[in-house]
Amino acid sequence: MDKIKDTRSFMRVTHRYLGYFLAGIMAVYAVSGILLVYRDTDLLKKEKQYDKTITTNLSEKALGKELKMKGLEVEKTEGTVLYFKQGTYDSATGKAKYTKKELPFVLDKMVKLHKSQSKDPIAPLSVFFGIALFFFVISSFWMFNPKTKAFKRGVKFTIAGLIISLILLFI
């Protein structure tokens, strides 16, 4: 391992090896982040048929929650059968036949990793990753000597990136 002489060498060495260590997960977060931008479209999604029995006599809202379909709207009702855009539900028997567009298995898992919540078992990984990314932000200022052109130019780019991020945040 490299010798750590001062704060600068510590930041550089840690930045380097933490970067190598996290390269895989950064790729996963990058791909899943791009997919999340297009979650309101059918990009890379395939239609999947479902035929299952669920709880009987569900309301429209409860049916959407049970089938995990946002914005489910019943278009018509004939007897005990409710018809919605993606399929049907018999409220007497609980029989639901519907289609859903879903990402392929691996991409779906990547997106779920990106959207993890505190109750998920993977949450500590997400927190570690966030802290590591913040470390990259801070440690990048130790990559170059503050007296060099590269450092001064880097600070200007940092300020520009921060301003653009703030503008996009408040649009």
Task: Beginning with the edge strand found earlier in the chain, give each strand of the sheet holding 74-78 in spatial order.
Answer: 46-53, 95-102, 87-90, 81-84, 74-78
pLDDT at 1: 61
pLDDT at residue 169 greater than cutoff 80: yes
In the numeric block, which tokens belong to residue 117?
Answer: 């919540």
Strands (E) across 6-134 are located at 46-53, 74-78, 81-84, 87-90, 95-102
pLDDT at residue 86 greater than cutoff 80: yes
- On average, the pLDDT of the chain sits at 93
Q: Dihedral of the CA atoms 156, 158, 163, 166 (nearest 10)? A: -170
The rounded percent of the chain whose pLDDT value lies above 90 is 89
Confidence grade of residue 5 (pLDDT, cut at 50, 70, 90): confident
